[in-house]
Amino acid sequence: MIWVKSAHAGGVKIPPAVAEQTKKEIEACWRREFKGFFKKVFIRFRGQFCYIDADVGQPVALELCRLRHFQSDDWSVSLYNYSSEGYDPVPMPSGEDTGKAVEGFRLAASFLAENGP
């Protein structure tokens, strides 16, 4: 049997220090690049996941993406798909399966900013 790592399965519980640093980096990116489009971003952590929602002025915040943690700078990203009400895995902007959390947020935020809610 051959073991193959999947960027969209498993993961490691996010340590509090990594969660805090990740939150700071994502909020800084939002303020710098997307504050004109999103009124606020909501970031929450559960197990190996970081969920990010965006307030675009609608009554309810929009689910944006889910990041899966493997190591400090090793995350995968899945975009929220409203038609299936689930998360669809996508590669990072680099084309790699994993990368920095802020890269995953930037990908999801750019997609929403360009395509609308």
Tens-place pLDDT, residues 102-116: 999 999 999 988 877
Strand partners for 63: 53
pLDDT at 5: 62
CB atoms inside a 10 Å sphere around CB 70: 16
Which parts of 56-107 are beta strand (E)?
A: 62-71, 74-81, 86-90
pTM score, two decimals?
0.91
**Which tops the pLDDT comparison, 87 or 72?**
87
